[in-house]
Chains A and B, each alone.
Chain A
Amino acid sequence: MGDVKMKKKDFVTSIVLIVFSITIIVLSYTMPRLERRGIDPFSAPGVVPGMIGGILLCLALILFFRSIRNGGYRLFTPERPAAGDRLHQGAVIRVLSTLSISLIYAIGLLGNSNYSMSTGAYIFFFICLFEIDLQRSFWRQRKVFLFALLQAVAASAAITLVFQNLFLVDLP
């Protein structure tokens, strides 16, 4: 099952890589050759990127034809649900939750709000997101909240102090 999924993934990846490498080749070809500056054509800036684009294209084509040979192009063929599918769904939710909260912190909050507050809030909500069970009453889980709050305050204060005062970093 996993192998079939990988072939499909390889098929999609190879198409992305083919498009990507052709873009590199085109951009390299259209790069100025700086002839007006009397520069040797062999040292033109597009030579190496073009070569790397060409090699990437060859490798992507190998991947593409191999995935076709192995049936990876049958993207929409229904598969029997596997025993691990529920586990897999849980993993996807956990990864997406981690990614979302981390992106909100690193791209949304940093640079737009106070560093210590943002860091503390991130640590607090991260712990709560994964440790709080919505089925149980909040009062029974007050220790988790308390611990998350303590860790968030201590960690953000320590990181702020170390980087601001010890490493003299102008915090974002």
Chain B
Amino acid sequence: MLEGLSYFWEGLAGFITPRTIFDVLWSTQLGIIVGMLPGLTATMGVALMTTLTFNMPAENAILILICMYVGAIYGGGRSAILLNIPGTPANAATAMDGYPLALKGEAGRAIGISTTGSFLGSIIGMVLLAFFTPLLGNFALNFQSFEFFWLAVFGVVISGNLTAPKDPVKGWISGFLGLFVALIGMEGIHGFVRFSFGNTNLSGGINLIPAMVGAFGFAEILSMMKYQRINVIKTKIERIIPRFQDIFRYKKTIIRSGLIGTLIGAIPGVGEDIAAWVSYDFAKRGSKEQSSFGNGSVEGLIASETGNNAAVAGATIPVLSLGIPGSAPAAVLLAAMFIHGVRPGPMIMIESPDFVYKVVAMVFLATCAMFVLGLSMVKYVVKVLQVPRTRLMPIIFTLCVIGSYAIQSRIFDIRVMIFFGILGFIMLEMEYPVAPMILGLILGNMLDTNFRRALVISEGEILPFVSRPICIVLILFIILTLVSKAKWFTAIRNQIKAKMVSYFIKRSENE
């Protein structure tokens, strides 16, 4: 623990240079702007920034990406409050109470509260990141090929389940499609080229960054251009610094939302939007002012903003300890780490434990910058919302194109970006979530090599896959996830719940 603290201070001290502070400030501010603009998501921002920072030193590049990530998730709350349009999906719950507050003429207060909530959520997430990453990393050292196989399956299944609440089957299809796409090209065990059909570009596999820029960038551009125009409301923004009572009164909600946000963020492929909704839901259930939720509740606003920003640090926990992303932007972060020669995963606590705490320091710096920038220059930055989409989108598209090309200087990557953009748009239209596909694209190689390696180790025996303790736990989780939305399962669950309630009522009556 003390060793971790010393790594953290060392990392933080290393970052306190004029150049780094400048990088932190501009990238966080850019993140806030990207997050604010409806249609530009955190994933798109981090993916585009990866293409712009790929020839920087690893630590600087990762710091900039984390600042962009933290800034974008926070920035989305601005448009949720001022336009009733969440800047990123993570801020949908923020609009529920932020916009009603703005309509009451309290936009400044809402921005101040959301900034403080995001700051505190991020700090709670950061503390848990520092605490749980080494624990999870050390635990994962017990994992062998059998466990890694099930972990990859679990990631795809739970991501599909939670990102497609209306129809999990579509989420799972998306995830398994991603796993298939990851298998295109030369495989890692025998060097055999699969599904390339003689195309030399395909034999190198599908590069993750162009695929992500397409799926989250170009697809979003097409989705945004569907709508004719967005009406920008002109709201007076007065006092922004929040009152101490506004925050202190909801300390329990903040702590609870921070913990929930981090936990949900750490579940593979789930992300900040679910974290915000679950935090909001818990806050509503536990609140004494339930009727004010949806009508400008300060507690609701704090809960959603604390939850989504805590999820940023939460999503980084599995990135560092397992090499599995907790959310779509974290998936890009993971890919960027690989590009820069950092290999996150169970071995990280043995190979470079200092890096984990450097990431904690990066989250801390990004959080501080977000807090300072979030409470200042609000009136000027909000003007960005008035830029018409028709003038912004062509520039974003040219950046998507050149960004995809720049990593390997291949025209083929532009085509990959376009393909995934069109596929992502069709998937959105058909109500298929895109995040599980991207998670599948990342986990495909892990699933493939570990499954085959495990079969070789066990000489074709299936038993070790289902008899090892961690495997059993993962299989149970997968089965629970698969059946959780089934009608018969919900009926059984409700029956058990009703029986338990009646049992406890009888017991209390007898007493």
A interface with B by C-beta (< 8 Å): 6, 9-10, 13, 17, 24, 27, 31-32, 34, 37, 39-49, 51-53, 55-56, 59-60, 62-63, 66, 90-91, 94-95, 97-99, 102-103, 105-107, 110-111, 119, 122-123, 126-127, 130-131, 147, 151, 155-156, 159, 163, 167-172
Contact = CB atoms under 8 A, between A and B. Distances in A.
Contacts of B406: 163, 167, 169
Given A42-B456, A59-B169, A90-B228, A131 B390 contact: yes
17 contacts: A37-B190, A43-B190, A45-B189, A46-B194, A59-B169, A59-B176, A62-B169, A95-B225, A95-B226, A99-B422, A102-B218, A103-B418, A105-B397, A107-B414, A131-B388, A159-B398, A169-B406
B227 interface: yes
B52 A48 contact: no
A153 B402 CA distance: 17
A65 to B, nearest CB: 11
Given A48-B451, A119-B398, A159-B399, A94 B176 contact: no
A81 B414 CA distance: 39
Nearest to A60: B173
A52 B175 CA distance: 10
Contacts of B177: 56
B452 interface: yes
B176 A111 contact: no
Contacts of A55: 176
Contacts of A9: 429-430
Nearest first, the 10 closest Cβ-Cβ pairs linking A and B are A42-B455, A126-B394, A130-B390, A45-B192, A91-B226, A43-B452, A98-B225, A48-B448, A123-B394, A169-B406
A147 B225 CA distance: 20
B456 A43 contact: yes
B52 A167 contact: yes
Contact of A169 (B176, B409, B431): B409
Contacts of A39: 190
Contacts of A53: 180
A6 B417 CA distance: 27
A122 B451 contact: no
A45 B180 contact: no
A132 to B, nearest CB: 10
Interface string B438-462: 0000000001100111011001100
Contacts of A171: 402
Nearest to B429: A9
Contacts of B180: 24, 49, 52-53, 56
B398 A151 contact: no
Contacts, number: 153
Nearest to B402: A163
Please report whether the interface of chain A is mostly helix, strand, loop or mixed according to DSSP.
Answer: helix
Please report whether the interface of chain B is mostly helix, strand, loop or mixed according to DSSP.
Answer: helix
B418 A106 contact: yes
Contacts of A48: 183, 447-448, 451-452
B411 interface: yes
A99 B222 CA distance: 7
Interface of B: 52, 54-55, 169-170, 172-173, 176-177, 179-180, 183, 187, 189-190, 192, 194-195, 218, 221-222, 225-228, 388, 390-391, 393-395, 397-399, 401-402, 405-406, 409, 411, 414-415, 417-418, 422, 425, 429-431, 447-448, 451-453, 455-456, 459-460
B201 to A, nearest CB: 14
A68 to B, nearest CB: 14
Task: With a 10 A CB-CB cut-off, give which of A47, A49, A127 has the most chain B CB atoms.
Answer: A49
A106 B192 contact: no
Nearest to A45: B192
Contact of B414 (A13, A41, A172): A172
A121 B500 CA distance: 68
Nearest to B405: A172
Nearest to A94: B225
A63 B169 contact: yes
Contacts of A167: 52, 54-55, 406
A169 B407 CA distance: 9
Contacts of B411: 110-111, 172
Contacts of A107: 414-415, 418
Contacts of B55: 167-168
A32 B397 CA distance: 41
B460 A42 contact: yes
A102 B221 CA distance: 10
Task: With a 10 A CB-CB cut-off, give which of A59, A62, A111 has the most chain B CB atoms.
Answer: A59
Given A107-B415, A123-B395, A155-B398, A169 B405 contact: yes
A107 B418 CA distance: 9
Contacts of B452: 42-44, 47-48
Contacts of A103: 418
Contacts of A46: 194
Contacts of A97: 225
A99 B405 CA distance: 19
B173 A63 contact: yes
A51 B452 CA distance: 11
A127 B391 contact: yes
Contact of B179 (A52, A106, A131): A52
A126 B393 contact: yes
Contacts of A111: 411
B50 to A, nearest CB: 12
B226 A94 contact: yes
Nearest to A48: B448
